[in-house]
Amino acid sequence: MAKSRQTKEQHVQELTEWLKTAKGAVLANFQGLKVKESEELRQQCRDQNVSYSASKKTLLKKILINAGYDVDLKNFDGGIAVVLGQEDEVSPAQIVANFAKKHELVKIFGGVLEGKFIDAAKVAELAKVPGRQELYARLVGSINAPVSGLVNVLAGNLRGLVNVLNAVKNAKV
């Protein structure tokens, strides 16, 4: 069923707001995927709190212009979907890149990062960056490493003392 003009305008307005507030976005071709595969991608997006929206090129061009991006969509073949991350810059790129590895039909066209349009190569590089939670875990581990090292050294001295006392006790028996 065809969308009415009012529905299209509402979709353009909604997606423009999402794109303006998104920390990261990826534009990719998902045309030709089976319904099951498409639902798998949408579920991955929901699991990581990422938005997914498929649009026609004419509507997407209006959305990009309204959001302040000058992107020529003529070079992009097939239907285009936008994957938007509101909380994390890396999540959309990781989701799409991992999905593209499993499904050859998926082609990344580019994305938006820090208010600028980036090409597919930069999206692929961004997908290799660890996510926010993993970076936090690494930071906490790095901060914790010297303290735990000190505790192990101090505990080693105590263990050594206990071993010596045990050896003296066993020698007397």
* Cα dihedral sign, 101-31-51-13: positive
Maximum Cα–Cα distance across the chain: 96
> Both 69 and 118 in a single domain?
yes
* pLDDT given for residue 43 in this prediction: 92
- 28: domain CATH number? 3.30.70.1730
> Both 135 and 173 in a single domain?
yes
- Across residues 126-153, what is the average pLDDT? 86
Distance of CA 12 to the CA centre of its chain: 24
> Both 61 and 117 in a single domain?
yes
Percent of the chain with pLDDT over 70: 98
The count of structural domains within the chain is: 2
* pLDDT given for residue 55 in this prediction: 82
Q: Which domain holds residue 34?
A: 5-129
CA distance 51 to 66: 19
Residue type, 125: E
> Both 165 and 139 in a single domain?
yes
- Across residues 87-102, what is the average pLDDT? 89
- Across residues 125-151, what is the average pLDDT? 86
Tell me the CA distances in angstroms from 131 to 89, 91, 159, 160, one per residue in order.
8, 7, 40, 42
Considering the entire predicted model, what is its pTM? Answer: 0.72
> Both 101 and 140 in a single domain?
no
